[in-house]
Homo-oligomer: A and B are copies of this chain.
Amino acid sequence: MSDGSVKSLNGSANKPHERLAAHLAAGMEAVNVLIRERMASKHAPRIPEVTQHLVEAGGKRLRPMLTLAAAELCGYEGPYHVHLAATVEFIHTATLLHDDVVDESEKRRGRPTANLLWDNKSSVLVGDYLFSRSFQLMVETGNLRVLDILANASATIAEGEVLQLTAAQDLATTEAIYLQVVRGKTAALFSAATEVGGVIAGAPEAQVKALYDYGDALGIAFQIVDDLLDYKGFSGATGKNIGDDFRERKLTLPVIKAVALADAEERAFWSRTIEKGDQRDGDLEHAIDLLEKHGALEAARQDALGYAAKGCAALQAMPEHPLREMLESLAEFVVSRIS
């Protein structure tokens, strides 16, 4: 685990992702070797330049750890959980590259984004390359059900991203639509990561479903926390710039809740800043005041805590195991960033 990732989850003595990383160290080393091997390109030197930048930036490697943990929790002893873990990380990295083009973002994990250092073209094409490499990796497992799960997750991710594009600036966006976007942009890959771990291990259906439910709830909690930190956090904690979502006019959960409770004047403010994108000095501060006034941040926080609890409950279907306890702690830890 890199310095960047440790820093990004600092602030608590209890670090279940580090315990997970320690427990899964051998497997994660194999995953990292495979990732380095497969992101290389004989012919196109731009590819390792861009991907190297992303790898060095660290990140928690949470998704591949979820796959390894799920497989081990189900007693898997074969080699293919490593392929699936690398697959999931490649899909995630490809998504980040394309997101940065879409968001016109300039910072990711506290570092300049690839599209700023190179160009949008490289971000689009290297993202496509990583998608295709992830596809090769999962085909090597020879497991059609795993391919089906990952194909469906990819479609949900892409659909969620497009939905976000069109729903983002529409004040009529409901919490139900928000949830659909979040399932697409975050939870689909979390739940696929845990589910394929169970499937490759040949786990009973009840366990496969529990792993899916855990990943889904963890992903939703994770995204709500991310949305909250964009208004409440500080740059050091997330590597993001505070107010990015506001500036990009994203209708995240806290804003949706505040809009639902807004009076006419407040509604005009949200309409001007989010729908019309006419933002002025002091608007971000005023937005945060409105979120506080309506208890929108606290309500979103309660939602996140609820999903974390749901994730822990799902795990009760899994066998007693140190990894089960670490996954429970992980769900609690994700929401501890907003305690």
Q: Do residues A120 and B120 form an inter-chain contact, with CB atoms below 8 A?
A: yes
Which B residues lie within 8 Å of A139 (CB)?
Answer: 144, 147-148, 151
* Distance in Å: Cβ of A261 to nearest Cβ of chain B: 26
A32 interface residue (CB < 8 Å to B): no
Q: Do residues B135 and A43 form an inter-chain contact, with CB atoms below 8 A?
A: no
Number of A residues near B (Cβ < 8 Å) is 41
A5 interface residue (CB < 8 Å to B): no
Q: Do residues A126 and B44 form an inter-chain contact, with CB atoms below 8 A?
A: no
Q: What are 29 A-B pairs at a CB distance below 8 A?
A: A41-B159, A43-B160, A44-B159, A44-B165, A46-B162, A46-B165, A46-B166, A47-B162, A98-B128, A101-B120, A101-B124, A102-B121, A102-B124, A102-B125, A120-B120, A125-B158, A125-B165, A128-B131, A128-B157, A128-B161, A129-B158, A129-B159, A132-B157, A135-B135, A135-B154, A135-B155, A136-B154, A139-B144, A147-B147
User: How many Å lie between the Cα of A277 and that of B142 in the bound state?
Assistant: 47
- Please give the count of copies of this chain that the complex contains: 2
Q: Do residues B125 and A162 form an inter-chain contact, with CB atoms below 8 A?
A: yes
Q: Do residues A43 and B159 form an inter-chain contact, with CB atoms below 8 A?
A: yes
Q: Do residues A162 and B101 form an inter-chain contact, with CB atoms below 8 A?
A: no
Within 8 A of B (CB), among A81-105: 98, 101-102
A329 interface residue (CB < 8 Å to B): no
